Structures are given as structure tokens and as C-alpha cells.
A and B are shown apart, each in its own frame.
Chain A
């Protein structure tokens, strides 16, 4: 049986889709057959980040409505072996997602895949609820600022009360904190919350810290998940996070401000 991972946050624009793309690619790179599903019906983005937007024919809602089979809708990733994308519909809205039908699709996928990554939309409405309902593991994507942290806290409450595991009194969803857009220099200046501030407020284990990086924007625009670029700090940090998700003990990196060397300071290179 596949493990179902939801990538969620409550707040928009914190990096859920970037994370979904990176984590699912990372899992597939390590030999786990993975499918990543875009639950953001009406605001489809994952296909762009994954660079498969031109190959979308059928989508998640088509499968739910019985207009296409799962195999017709699944897009095989060209870069990573064992990775598939199930895109969202751009023309429908979130009410097209019905619990019973989502369950049937997830059950079918669970037989074939090791991991199902659900990319949640922002908010706490139908789309987000459907994305998290069947989850076994949750990755809470949070930016180091107060409104993002509060929304993450809210979504943690919903995981505890409105998920399948909560409703059926099963073992609770495993929660992981992923801090994104972290800028140690701004933390040092007191402009940003520190890792320990966020950990203290949310009180869940830390999966990783992704430093703020220009590589993320570049990767998004090029449609190649940032984890593929092992040269960048963001790529390395996502790789560490995937290793931790799979149970490896990896020390956290990129938490401290980088010291500029003499020449860099002299030349003003960033």
C-alpha cells in the first residue's frame, strides 16, 4: 500500500507546489514509484513547475467524472524514472472533488505506487480538505513570518480533527514542518522568525529548512523541479529533506549566515 503525503500550508504562495514537485521527484530519484496529484482545481500550477504543461490532455476531474481512465490522465515525467503527474482541471472548481470518488482514485493508485503526493491548494475549503483527508503523512510548508505560521497552526488543527485518521480514531497523521524561503541574514537582523521560533510555536518535528534562493524561481520558470539542481542550496536542502522523510538522520544545513570571503567582500559579490 502506498503512503499518502499531503503538502499543505493554509496560506498561499509559501511554496507548496514547489515542495510537492521537489519531494515527489526526490522520492522517485531514490527508486520509489511516485505520483504527484494537483488538488488545486481551477488554479492548475503543478504541471508548469513539473514542465509537463503541454502534455496535459485529461485531468483529475475528468477521471472523477469517468470521462477518462487514470492511465489516460497520468503523465509520465520525462526526467525522472518512476514519477507520474496527475494534473488538476483548469476549467472546473473545487466542488468537483467528492470524497468518495477521490477515495476510489487514491485506492487505485495505491496499488501501483509507493508514494502518492497530494499538492494541496491554499485555504481551508473543499480543495484543501480533500487533499489532506486521506493523508498518512503531512508536510506543513511554512514561511518564517507570523501569518504563515498562524495559518500552519490552523491547518494542523484541521489535520487533527477533519482527516480520515482523526474521524476513524486511527493513529494520527505524521506531521512534518518544512520551513521555506529562509534567509539567515534577515533572521540575524530580526526581520524574520528563526527556526526555533517557528518550532516553538508549531511544536512539530522539523523536516527541513529551504533557504531563500533565486534558483527556485528559475527552476519554476524552466519547469524543472529545483531538487534536480544539486548545485544549488535549495536543491541540496530538498534532497536532505527527502532523506529525512525516508528516515535518514541528516544534519540541518544553511541555517547560519554565510560568511563572505575577503575577495567577495572586496568585490561586493553576493
Chain B
């Protein structure tokens, strides 16, 4: 039963991160525009998180210290929607706060902090720490659930994309079908179509399948066609991974 007019939930989402290495308001707009013009549909009205984590010499970055609002304005003028800042260094805190946008911790910061705090927790702070833990646990669970499960065969002409997630197919992927995922792809049947893992550039993504007969396999944009598949693995269990720009295709053998 819901006794209030809203629900508070934890959620994980994928956003574009604009990680600044240096900041020069005069050139940034032009550079950013050039990038956006390469894929305008992808970026138009896209929410964006501004990360200052990698900013070199933040204390000397006077343009940003004086006005972080100008940076926000540049983003908005290019049809981006800045959500907030992350990894804000100390010297820039006041300026960023003045923009009124959210300030998020570095992605790993929160996860790291909590285990350290637990042993130290005193009676007085127990309540506060417990609260934080609950919040973190919920978030972790959601992250682990990020996979898409397909139970029926993926037929010729069908395309399945697991956005921001792994893809698990409990059937075959037919010739002429295409399966894509931002993460790993697991296929517990024959892979006769195309499988593309890490389509948004995750080079650690892998493809696992029970029977390799693919038309094409690709990890983070590096692909191999059927002709180039190792003949000894044809119709055999295999995994596909990336090292550098080389696509590795190996037998799927579980070490005992």
C-alpha cells in the first residue's frame, strides 16, 4: 500500500559524460560543436554530466573559478542538457555551487567510502551509516539486474539491442538476425547471425556462444566476418574478446 503520493526509488541510468581535461571557454564551444555534428541525433537534447575529475591544475583554471555558469551556457547553446557536475575539485566548489546544478560524487567514491566507515562507526553515528548502506545496496542490486533476457529464437530480420546492459539469449540467433549489447552477449544456442558486444565502446565486453557460426562478431566496433573465424571452432562453443584492436576468438573451455 502506498500511503504517500510518491515513491522514492533508486535507479541507475546511462548518461553522456563530458570530461574536461582543460577549460578554455573560447575554444570549447567550437570543439564540442564539431564533435556533436558527427552524430547530431545522438546528442540533441541529450542529458550530460560534466566531470571535472580529470581537469588539470583546477586551482589555476581562473575562467571556471570566475564563472562555471558560462560552461553550462555553452552546453545549453549546443542543445545539451547539463544535469550536474561530478568530481568537482575543492577550488571550484563555490563556482559550481553557484550554477545551482547538482553536484555528484565521483562514481567510485561512495562505494569506497562506506566499507571504511563501518568499523569506525560509533553508537551515535550508527543510524546515519545504516541509512547510507541501505541506499547503496539498492543501487548495487539495480546495477546487477541490468541484463536483457530473450527466451525465444532471434529470427532473420529481427534486431535486439540491450541498451546499457548485457544480453542473454536462451535460444538460437538465426542467420540474418542481429543482437547488440552495450555489455556482454551470451547465446545459449547457435549464433548464426551477427553479434555486436560493447557497441558504445566498452572494450572489455565479450561474446559467449554455444555454437559459433556467426556472420559477423564485433567487440567495441572491431569486427570479424565469418570467413575469418577459426575453422576449428566452427559450430563449437566459443568466446570472443578484444585485446587492443585484435579480436580474439577462443574455445569456450571452463578451467577446472
**A149, closest chain B residue (CB):** B175
A154 contacts chain B at the CB level, 8 A cutoff: yes
Which parts of A136-161 form the interface with B (CB within 8 Å)? Answer: 150-151, 153-154, 156-158, 160-161
B145 contacts chain A at the CB level, 8 A cutoff: no
CB-CB < 8 A to B171: which residues of A? 203
B176 contacts chain A at the CB level, 8 A cutoff: yes
Q: Which of B153, B156, B157, B176 contacts A203 (CB 8 A)?
A: B153
CB pair A154–B153 under 8 Å, yes or no, is: no
CB pair B152–A153 under 8 Å, yes or no, is: no
C-alpha gap A3/B185 in the complex (Å): 38
**B152, closest chain A residue (CB):** A160
B172 contacts chain A at the CB level, 8 A cutoff: yes
CB-CB < 8 A to A161: which residues of B? 158
C-alpha gap A158/B152 in the complex (Å): 13
Closest beta carbon of chain B to A169's beta carbon, Å: 13
CB-CB < 8 A to B174: which residues of A? 153, 157, 201
C-alpha gap A203/B192 in the complex (Å): 13
B177 contacts chain A at the CB level, 8 A cutoff: yes
CB pair A154–B152 under 8 Å, yes or no, is: no
B33 contacts chain A at the CB level, 8 A cutoff: no
B155 contacts chain A at the CB level, 8 A cutoff: yes
CB pair B156–A157 under 8 Å, yes or no, is: yes
CB pair A150–B153 under 8 Å, yes or no, is: no
C-alpha gap A158/B155 in the complex (Å): 8
C-alpha gap A206/B72 in the complex (Å): 62
Closest beta carbon of chain B to A32's beta carbon, Å: 30
Q: Which of A158, A160, A203 contacts B172 (CB 8 A)?
A: A203
Which parts of B185-201 form the interface with A (CB within 8 Å)? Answer: 192
**B158, closest chain A residue (CB):** A157
Closest beta carbon of chain B to A109's beta carbon, Å: 29
C-alpha gap A158/B158 in the complex (Å): 8
C-alpha gap A156/B158 in the complex (Å): 10
CB-CB < 8 A to B172: which residues of A? 203
CB-CB < 8 A to A201: which residues of B? 174-175, 192
The interface bits of chain B over 117-154 (1 if a CB of A lies within 8 angstroms of the residue's CB, else 0) are 00000000000000000000000000000000000111
CB-CB < 8 A to A154: which residues of B? 155-157, 176
CB pair B177–A157 under 8 Å, yes or no, is: yes
C-alpha gap A45/B158 in the complex (Å): 31
**B159, closest chain A residue (CB):** A157
CB-CB < 8 A to A151: which residues of B? 156
**B171, closest chain A residue (CB):** A203
CB pair B153–A156 under 8 Å, yes or no, is: yes
C-alpha gap A172/B177 in the complex (Å): 20
C-alpha gap A176/B176 in the complex (Å): 21
CB-CB < 8 A to B192: which residues of A? 201
Q: Which of A153, A158, A160, A172 contacts B176 (CB 8 A)?
A: A153
Which parts of A180-233 form the interface with B (CB within 8 Å)? Answer: 201, 203
CB-CB < 8 A to B156: which residues of A? 150-151, 153-154, 157
CB pair A150–B175 under 8 Å, yes or no, is: yes
C-alpha gap A156/B192 in the complex (Å): 16
CB-CB < 8 A to B153: which residues of A? 156, 203
C-alpha gap A115/B157 in the complex (Å): 30
CB pair B158–A150 under 8 Å, yes or no, is: no
Closest beta carbon of chain A to B211's beta carbon, Å: 10
**A151, closest chain B residue (CB):** B156
C-alpha gap A120/B172 in the complex (Å): 26
> Assuming the A-B contacts A157-B157, A203-B171, are A150 and B176 also in contact, with contact meaning beta carbons closer than 8 angstroms in the complex?
yes
B residues contacting A by CB (< 8 A) are 152-158, 171-172, 174-177, 192
What are 12 A-B pairs with beta-carbon distances under 8 A?
A150-B156, A150-B176, A153-B174, A154-B157, A154-B176, A157-B154, A157-B156, A157-B177, A158-B155, A158-B157, A160-B158, A203-B171
Kindly list 7 other residue pairs between chains A and B, CB separation below 8 angstroms, not including A158-B155, A203-B172: A153-B176, A154-B176, A160-B155, A160-B158, A201-B174, A201-B175, A203-B153
3 nearest A-B pairs in the assembled complex, by CB-CB distance: A157-B155, A153-B156, A154-B156
